[in-house]
Amino acid sequence: MKFKTKLITTLVMACLFSPLASAMTQAEKIEDINKMLEGNPAIIDSLHESLAMYIAQQSKYEQTLADNHDYMYNNPNHPWFGAENPKLTIVVLTDFSCPWCKKLDPVLMQLLEEHPDDLKVINIYVPLKEGSNPANSATFALRVWKESPEKFNKISETLLSKPGVHNSRSIMKVAKANDAEKYVSTVQETQDMVAKNYQLFTDLGVRGTPAMLIDGQLLPGYLPYEKLAPMVEAKIAEKSGK
- Domains of the chain (ranges; CATH) run 2-63 (no CATH), 71-239 (3.40.30.10)
Amino acid at 207: R
Model pTM? 0.78
Q: Could you give the CA distance from residue 114 to residue 69 in angstroms, rounded to a whole number?
A: 26
Contact between 212 and 218 under an 8 Å Cβ cutoff? The reply is yes
Q: Are strands 119-125 and 88-94 parallel, antiparallel or unpaired?
A: parallel
pLDDT in tens, 148-186: 999 999 999 999 999 999 999 999 999 999 999 999 977
Q: Residue 44 has what pLDDT?
A: 72
Positions of the chain with pLDDT lower than 70, given as ranges: 1-24, 47-59, 242
- List residues bridging with 91 in a β-sheet: 122, 213
Q: How many CA atoms lie within 13 A of 34 on its CB side?
A: 6
Q: Would you give the distance in Å from CA 129 to the centre of its chain? A: 16
